[in-house]
Amino acid sequence: MSETISGTLYLVATPIGNLSDISARAVKTLQEVDFVAAEDTRITGRLLEHLSIKKPLVSYYKHNSRASGEKIVRRILEGESCALVTDAGTPAVSDPGQELVSLCAASGITMIIIPGPCAAVSALALSGLDTGRFTFEGFLSVEKKKRLLHLDELKTEKRTMIFYEAPHKLLRTLADLLNAFGDRQISISREMTKMYEETLRLSISEAIEHFESNAPRGEFVLVVEGSEDLPLTDNRLEDGIKVAGTFIEDGMSARDAVKKAADETGCSRNVLYKALIKNMD
């Protein structure tokens, strides 16, 4: 017996890599809806073929979201049920599906979530950083001014931050993160649930060194340590500055000195780096 409801939009999460991650409920929903709205019909078509599902596909992506969205809304209001999917993961999160959800909400259309994979939450869980409070920042702007302004606004953000990034922009983004935040801890996940899945947990400067020697491949999720700014009068911070200064006098680079001093004193590397540079000015 069908469980889908006519005149309803279903937000269906799909695998971010491994096709086995799709839920039984997602499969059943895709089987029963009248049509599927997909960001890329070719990608979704391959998924449906894998699942042995034949269903009408409607293209819905960034550049046709208004026109296509209005058509989809009309069909739903006329009594059809629709499954909204993105290329991978949960639709409407850093995704043009957000606009369709807004249109449906404004039209009073019932919406039901079929939960499943989400790259941001998966990378956060793997990061080893604080997961109690976090902020999802999505993709940074390709426009330098907007990108730097975005990062400047996050300098004092204490929550763990999550970003998405493409391989060809990764090194530029890491450099921007280092300039904006200092040498914080970062977890970098790529190709999650796929054959070459990898998560690196290191400092931002170490990440830059790694990817200068290893060409970035795959889609990336960056999980960045939040701000832990402390006043310069904090005794532990003062101890960290003294220890780092001693290492620098012995010929160690500032980056290595901060890393070693932070490990010895328990200071945040980012806080210690900022304080050390301020004292050296």
How many beta carbons lie within 10 A of that of residue 107, not counting itself?
A: 13
Q: Does domain 8-117 have CATH number 3.40.1010.10?
A: yes
**CATH number assigned to the domain covering 120-224:** 3.30.950.10
What is the model's pLDDT at position 268?
Answer: 76
Q: Look at residue 56 and tell me whether its pLDDT is greater than 80.
A: yes
> For residue 77, is pLDDT > 70?
yes
CA distance 61 to 100: 10
- pLDDT at residue 232, rounded to an integer: 47
Per-residue pLDDT tens for 223-279?
999 997 545 446 778 888 888 888 888 888 888 888 888 878 877 777 788 788 777
Q: What is the mean pLDDT of residues 82-92?
A: 96
DSSP 71: H
Q: What is the CA radius of gyration of the chain?
A: 23
Pick the range with the lowest mean pLDDT from 68-72, 88-92, 119-123, 271-275: 271-275
Angle at 189 between CA 45 and CA 41, to 5 degrees: 10
Q: What is the pLDDT of residue 208?
A: 97
- How far is the first Cα of the chain from the last one, in angstroms, to the nearest whole number? 72
Element (H or E) spanning 247, and its range? Answer: helix 235-249
All structural domains of the chain with their residue ranges: 8-117, 120-224, 235-280
pLDDT at 15: 97
| Calpha distance 139→148 (Å, rounded) | 13
pLDDT digits (tens, 9 = 90+) for 147-206: 999 999 999 899 999 999 999 999 999 999 999 999 999 999 999 999 999 999 999 999
- The pLDDT of residue 269 is 77
- Residue 25: what pLDDT? 97
Q: Is a pLDDT exceeding 80 seen at residue 117?
A: yes
pLDDT averaged over every residue in the chain? 92
Query: With bands split at pLDDT 50, 70 and 90, how would you rate the model's confidence at 1?
Result: low
Burial 135-152 (b: 16+ CB within 10 A, else e): ebbeebeeeeeebeebbe
Amino acid at 58: V
